[in-house]
Amino acid sequence: VPGTLYTWGWNLQNELGEPEAFVGEACDDALGVGAECRAVATAVTAPDFSWIATNGGGATSCGIDSITHRVQCWGDNAAGQCGIDAAMYQHLDLRASRPVLVEATGAPLSAVADAALWVGEYASCAALTDRTLWCWGANARGQLARAVDAVPHMAVRVVLP
């Protein structure tokens, strides 16, 4: 189906976006140890979202909607790389099992250019159609091009020279 995102493989941090669909399945990793995974491609549920681009890094995945050009992320969120405030939820599981909208200054990050999304292990970035760059997630090593006190879960604009 056009605009539908399918995922498969390991799901250690819910990076496939559908955790309940395959609990108990196992795949062998490079060391021969079983791990939760999905051997069959399954659609990711994101109501009113038609995917045009996706990217994954580490145990986090993100995608861009073809209509609104908004970004949604899911999977590992220990450093805020899904756009969820990890500090507020330290007592909970730091994973987003379903896609969640990434916010910038209190509103969903939108007008993301087609296929202009980078997802790393601890931080993610998106280029907007107005030629600005926005990043969110870890900033311990300057990944957000900001002072260390930047709010990691909310997308911040990267000031380019």
Query: pLDDT by residue (tens digit) across 114-150?
Result: 778 888 888 889 988 888 899 988 888 888 887 766 5
Which of 122, 102, 91 is closest to 46 using CA atoms?
Answer: 102
CB burial of 18-35 (b: ≥16 within 10 Å; e: otherwise) equals: bbebbeeeeeeeeeeeee
**Backbone phi, then psi, for 34, in 5-degree steps?**
-70, 145
What's this model's pTM, rounded to 2 decimal places? Answer: 0.76
Which of 89, 51, 56 is closest to 75 using CA atoms?
Answer: 56
Q: What's residue 94's pLDDT?
A: 66
Q: What's residue 20's pLDDT?
A: 54
Query: pLDDT by residue (tens digit) across 12-54?
Result: 666 776 655 444 455 655 545 555 666 667 777 776 777 788 8
Which of 53, 54, 41, 46 is closest to 8 using CA atoms?
Answer: 41
Q: What's residue 13's pLDDT?
A: 66
